[in-house]
């Protein structure tokens, strides 16, 4: 369980760092700041969840360590 928390922390840092490079302002309508922020937040949470579960599934299926 501690390993999964560690993976969540590392993936969270990587997702936040990588999402800073994306300019999504052109996708949303003007004056829709709260909707854009909510979408960005949910997209980040989704990416964190998916990448962490992928890493943990890969780890458990390969039994490397």
pLDDT tens-digit series, residues 17-48 = 998 888 877 888 888 888 888 999 999 999 99
33/6 Cα distance (integer angstroms): 32
CA–chain centroid gap for 50, Å, is: 7
Predicted confidence (pLDDT) per residue in 12-23, tens digit: 999 999 988 888
Q: What's the structural domain count of the chain?
A: 1
Domain encompassing residue 54: 2-62
DSSP annotation string for 1-23:
-HHHHHHHHHHHHHHHHHHTT--
- The pLDDT score that the predictor gives to residue 64 is 60
């Amino acid at each position: 369980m501690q390993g999964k928390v560690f993976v969540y922390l590392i993936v969270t840092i990587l997702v936040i760092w990588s999402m800073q490079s994306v300019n999504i302002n052109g996708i949303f309508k003007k004056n829709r700041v709260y909707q854009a922020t909510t979408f960005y937040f949910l997209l980040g949470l989704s990416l964190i969840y998916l990448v962490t579960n992928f890493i943990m599934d890969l780890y458990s299926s390969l039994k490397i360590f």
